[in-house]
């Protein structure tokens, strides 16, 4: 019997993607986002590389099995397809850890980002701090917004957390139906605090950036695994979503007309029969 190529190998696509992601990770580990500074968190990088290596190891048996199935002259086309589906299914089950790791890394990156954005906590009595914040906001309200922004930037630089809390805990921000002008625009607050964290909380900021980068790469890999292995041998299915409903106003021409008052039974007995 002549061996024919009835099943196309798919593992090489995932292995090539893993190699590309591995190169991106190594480049980030060496240079970070700026080629003159090592900015990546090496612990996060090591964990990501370990996940990539494990995925590559899991795919190796599938590559060998693909070659054996293709070269087997004694198996029918249907048999080859069946063996291929079974091999892909086993590999897909063993690669579930990639999806789990992608979710965990994304959750860690979100938590690290929220920690950097967290409002500084008061060291003393919270009631006294609230009253001080109220007075700070009253003073800031008397300034033009450009001066408020300058004060806030200086407070962040000088670690004056009292002014930071006063601005970020403004209870009047976003009131409806006519919102008050914010003391400081939110995008300016986020940008100023982010730049300060990058300069003064280098390790935490570096870890957050690396986690975000790693999460994106692992999500790409898991998406490719889902698209190639998760759907292998399964017919494509989708549920069409109606975009609108149309009433054609069509009526049955054979239907009797609606009954009117003349069709009602008499309620009184006539005087003569």
For residue 250 the two structure tokens come to 């069509």
Q: Which pLDDT belongs to residue 221?
A: 96
Residue reference for tokens 């480049």: 27
Rounded CA separation 58/160 (Å): 52
Q: DSSP characters for 100-137?
A: HHHHHHHHHHHHHHHHHHPPPPPSS-HHHHHHHHHHHH
pLDDT at 6 over 70: no
Residue 73 to residues 8, 62, 70, 82, 233, Cα–Cα distance (Å) = 16, 19, 8, 15, 22
Q: What is the pLDDT of residue 174?
A: 47
Q: How confident is the model at residue 184 (pLDDT cuts 50, 70, 90)?
A: confident
Instruction: Inform me whether the pLDDT recorded for 224 exceeds 70.
Output: yes
Percent of the chain at pLDDT exceeding 70: 84
Write down the mean pLDDT value for the chain: 83
Res. 247 pLDDT band, cuts 50 70 90: low
Each residue of 10-56: pLDDT tens digit? 889 999 999 999 999 988 877 655 443 456 888 999 999 999 999 99
Binned at pLDDT 50, 70 and 90, residue 257 comes out as: confident
Q: Give the pLDDT confidence score for residue 270 in this predicted structure.
A: 63
- The CA distance from 181 to 175, in Å, is 10
The domains of the chain are located at 11-118+201-228, 130-200
Looking at residue 176, what is its pLDDT?
45
pLDDT: which is higher, 189 or 29: 189
- pTM for the predicted model, two decimal places: 0.71
What's residue 119's pLDDT? Answer: 83
**pLDDT exceeds cutoff 70 at 272:** no
Separation CA 43–CA 49 (nearest Å)? 10
- What does the pLDDT average to over 102-125? 90
Tens digit of each residue's pLDDT (9 = 90 or more) over 59-86? 999 988 888 888 878 778 788 888 888 8
Return the half-sphere exposure (C-beta side, CA atoms, 13 A cut-off) of residue 152: 27
Whether the per-residue pLDDT at 145 is higher than 60: the answer is yes
């Amino acid at each position: 019997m002549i061996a024919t190529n009835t099943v196309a190998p798919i593992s090489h696509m995932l292995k090539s993607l893993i190699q590309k992601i591995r190169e991106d990770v190594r480049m980030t580990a060496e240079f970070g986002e700026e080629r003159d500074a090592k900015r990546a968190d090496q612990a996060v990088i090591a964990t990501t590389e370990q996940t990539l290596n494990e995925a590559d190891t899991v795919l190796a048996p599938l590559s060998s099995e693909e070659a054996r199935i293709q070269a087997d002259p004694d198996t029918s086309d249907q048999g080859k397809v069946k063996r291929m589906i079974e091999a892909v299914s086993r590999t897909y089950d063993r690669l579930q850890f990639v999806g789990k790791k992608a979710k965990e890394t994304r959750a860690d990156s979100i938590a690290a980002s929220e920690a950097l954005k967290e409002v500084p906590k008061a060291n003393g009595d919270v009631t006294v701090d609230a009253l001080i914040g109220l007075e700070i906001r009253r003073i800031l309200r008397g300034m033009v917004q450009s001066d408020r922004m300058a004060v806030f930037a200086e407070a962040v630089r000088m670690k004056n957390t009292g002014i930071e809390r006063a601005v970020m805990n403004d209870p009047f921000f976003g009131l409806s139906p006519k919102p008050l002008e914010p003391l400081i625009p939110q995008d300016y607050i986020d940008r100023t605090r982010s730049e300060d964290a990058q300069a003064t909380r280098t390790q935490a900021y570096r870890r957050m950036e690396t986690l975000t980068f790693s999460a994106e790469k692992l999500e790409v890999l898991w998406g490719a695994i889902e698209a190639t292995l998760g759907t292998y041998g399964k017919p494509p299915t989708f549920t069409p979503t109606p975009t609108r409903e149309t009433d054609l106003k069509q009526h049955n021409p054979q239907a009797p007309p609606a009954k009117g008052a003349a069709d009602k039974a008499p309620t009184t007995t006539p005087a003569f029969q």
